[in-house]
Homo-oligomer: A and B are copies of this chain.
């Protein structure tokens, strides 16, 4: 085992509620590699606690004294540092293409899901984070949190359309990476865990191939994601 790993994860008022989509990518990556890390709860306003990483966002992984931030760079770090453990990408050629999936997850999936669940985050975060969260998000969207999620049915329909590229390939293969999941899957799964952690709203119809894919990932690693603290697991 590696000597000492620490992962800073975004937490809610309940320190066991770890809800960041990007931290979930890293958590699944660590499980895939079979690597344990001490998981420290961190809140949006705890900027000083991770100032050593040179920036202000989680996940931050500290691996034997080296700080790595940004979930994509953490995945690259784990792949190169632990080459004898199961590969996150399945080979060198798949790594840059997997980055496209990560980019799609961040630029399409996260915004589409946020239009459904953003207000729910306000209900689960620590009291000290609430001003920061509201003001930063209202600035980003140019509207009040309540307006971001207005007309839920229309937003769910937009999310459904945004999922077309994922839905199409899942009609042909059980995972984005083929017959078993790799980091490309965790990139797209992280945003769904974010929703599951903070909201009781169901994003997917049961007959959507994306629903069955999400179920398979909830079951992965002995139900790691399914058993995590969440608004849906209670």
Contacts and interface: CB of A to CB of B under 8 A. Distances in A.
Interface residues of A, number: 32
A95 B178 contact: yes
Interface string A170-187: 001101111000101000
Interface of A: 87, 89-101, 103-104, 106-108, 164-166, 168-169, 172-173, 175-178, 182, 184
Nearest to A174: B96
A101 to B, nearest CB: 6
Copies in the complex: 2
Contact of A94 (B94, B107, B164): B94
30 contacts: A89-B93, A90-B91, A90-B92, A90-B93, A90-B94, A91-B92, A93-B93, A93-B94, A94-B94, A94-B97, A95-B178, A96-B173, A96-B176, A96-B178, A97-B97, A97-B177, A97-B182, A97-B184, A99-B172, A99-B173, A100-B101, A100-B104, A100-B176, A103-B164, A103-B165, A103-B166, A103-B168, A103-B169, A104-B104, A107-B164
Nearest to A168: B103
Contact of A177 (B93, B104, B106, B169): B93
- Which of A95, A96, A169 has the most CB atoms of chain B within a 10 A radius of its CB? A96
A98 B90 CA distance: 13
A100 B182 contact: no
A89 B107 CA distance: 24
Contacts of A107: 164-165, 168
A173 B107 CA distance: 17
A99 B175 CA distance: 11
B182 A93 contact: yes
Contacts of A98: 97
Given A94-B97, A100-B101, 17 more contacts: A87-B93, A90-B93, A91-B91, A91-B94, A92-B178, A93-B94, A96-B177, A97-B101, A99-B172, A99-B173, A100-B100, A100-B104, A100-B165, A103-B164, A103-B165, A103-B168, A107-B164
